[in-house]
Amino acid sequence: MKLLNKTIFTAFIFLLTIFTYSIFFYNMIEIKGVEIEKLISHISRILLELLCLFYLLSKRKVINTHFVKLVCVWILLMIPVCLIDYERAFVNATSVLFWPLIFLFFCSLIDSDPNHIKKATTFFCCLFFLVVILYIGNVMDRNQGIENKLASINRVYYLLLLAPWLLSVNNRTQRHIFLLILVMCAFISAKRGAIVITLFITLFYIGYLFFIESKKVLSKNNRSRKNRFWQLTIFLCLLSAGYIFFSKLEARNDNYLLSRFESIEEDQGSGRFVIFKTVIEAQMNSSWEYWLIGHGNWAVKQDITVFNKSFSAHNDYLEILYDYGIICLILYFYIFIILFKRLKFLYKVRSDYFMGYSVGFIIFTIMPFLSPLVLYPTYFIYLTAYWGAMEAIIVDIEKKKSRMI
């Protein structure tokens, strides 16, 4: 079984790296009318799903928790959703089942050997640097010929959804650097949602350092006090670097980022308020069966037009209600409750993963109001992989506690 785990995980690393790389080059490489990178991303995603399914079937069991049961129920509810548009049933299935399979895969992988969490964390940290390089290239390409403003870059969310893994590393200096890179990337994305989420994460991280982690590290010996002093100095230096970067960026672009926030009322949140109103009206005019099982995957974008264009709902709650129905919306709220309970447990046992899990909770709490999350499994899988891994870690902690009693 150890050899199988190692082989499967190695194959997973390879496929997810290829998938992530190809996503950043959508619609950029075309040969004889075929979008090569788009084709590669679809193939690698299907292979990832088949790999996860093979591993789950080979184990024949997953840990029995409320979160795992909820994800399994979600999978069952997606069957009628995919069949609403039977012509696209396969394509819809590969989309809606992606994140649940990734969750169950990591849950089973870490459950079979909790030591795999270190390897998984190392991989996602390395993947972060690859995504940063691809993201910077994307930013440079999108900002060519633009003066006194910044292009809005949605791909910043691929970085943001890796944050729980990054802030779960034990080395505090590495965590500081990861956070600084995240903040800088959020600023240059010009995405208000990404900036807001990153600032919330930063504020929580500062509180975590001074009020939670300091109590675990600080002791009466001078070495520990000296170490804490240097860590504080490093953090303040990096924080200052982030502020200087923001000031320089704003000076170069005529305070464009601040003006983006000041214009929220004027531009109606980039048209979001109009989109929300239109989706709500469409939902209210739907028959009871559509309230129950939804209109189908990506139905908002297919059915509703705003400003003569097709959009997603830009709000997970509205998107899930319209696409998947009220039952899935209830399950979505239940995920929030489960995450909160898991967070309380990790705080109670003073787990090293409390910070990373808190970041995931912050993202899941704020982002659904501002941007789609579940609808885009391409980056949501980074977060669900973390949840799955943590579910196995939490079960392992509970087992160890029960043995001690």
List pLDDT tens digits, range 35-45: 677 788 889 99
Looking at the structure, tell me whether residues 353 and 227 fall in a common domain: yes
Q: Is residue 27 part of a domain?
A: yes
Please report whether residue 395 resides in a domain: yes
Question: Tokens standing for 77?
Answer: 């509810």
| 178 has pLDDT over 70 | yes
Residue that finishes a domain, picked among 11, 34, 60: 60
Query: Is 121 in a helix, a strand, or coil?
Result: helix
User: Considering the domain boundaries, does residue 271 fall inside one?
Assistant: no
Same domain, 48 and 122: no
Domain assignment present for residue 270? The answer is no
**47 shares its domain with 87:** no
Contacts (Cβ under 8 Å, ≥6 apart) of 112: 1, 5, 59
Q: Is 10 helix (H, G, I), strand (E, B) or coil?
A: helix
Who has greater pLDDT, 258 or 286? Answer: 286
| Residue 161 · residue 386 · CB < 8 Å | no
**Residue 33: its pLDDT value, please?**
44
Q: Is residue 300 one of the residues assigned to a domain?
A: no
Shared-domain flag, residues 260 and 370: yes
pLDDT at 34: 47
| 119 in Cβ contact with 152 (< 8 Å) | no
* 254 assigned to some structural domain: yes
- Quick one: pLDDT at residue 255? 60
* Within-domain flag for 217: yes
Q: Up-side HSE of residue 115: CA atoms within 13 Å toward CB?
A: 3
- How large is the average pLDDT for residues 234-238? 71
pLDDT of 344 > 90? The answer is: yes
Domain residues for the domain of 250 are 64-264+309-404
- Same domain assignment for residues 55 and 180: no
Residue 29 and residue 175 in one domain: no
Question: Rounded CA gap, 352 and 164, in Å?
Answer: 12
Task: Report yes or no on 304 lying in a domain.
Answer: no
Cα separation of 221 and 237, whole Å?
25
pLDDT of 226:
55
Contacts of residue 249, Cβ cutoff 8 Å, sequence gap at least 6: 187, 188, 257
Q: Is 54 exposed, middle or buried (0-12, 13-18, 19+ CB in 10 A)?
A: middle
339 contacts 360 by C-beta, under 8 angstroms: yes
Listing DSSP states for 272-289 in one string gives HHHHHHHHHHHHHTS-HH
Based on the domain organization, do 257 and 380 belong to the same domain?
A: yes
- The CA-based diameter of the chain, rounded to the nearest angstrom, is 70
Q: Are residues 48 and 77 in the same domain?
A: no
Point out the domain boundary residue: 30, 60, 90.
Answer: 60
User: Are 103 and 219 in the same domain?
Assistant: yes
Tell whether 87 and 104 lie within a shared domain.
yes
Look at residues 41, 60, 79 and tell me which one is the last residue of a structural domain: 60
- Asked if 171 and 256 sit in the same domain, the reply is yes
CB 249 within 8 A of CB 257: yes
- pTM (2 decimals)? 0.91
**Residue 220 clears pLDDT 80, i.e. is over it:** no
Judged by DSSP in three states, 143 sits in coil
> How many domains is the chain partitioned into structurally?
2
Per-chain mean pLDDT for the chain: 84
> Which pLDDT value is given to residue 271?
67
Instruction: Kindly state whether residues 260 and 371 are assigned to the same domain.
Output: yes
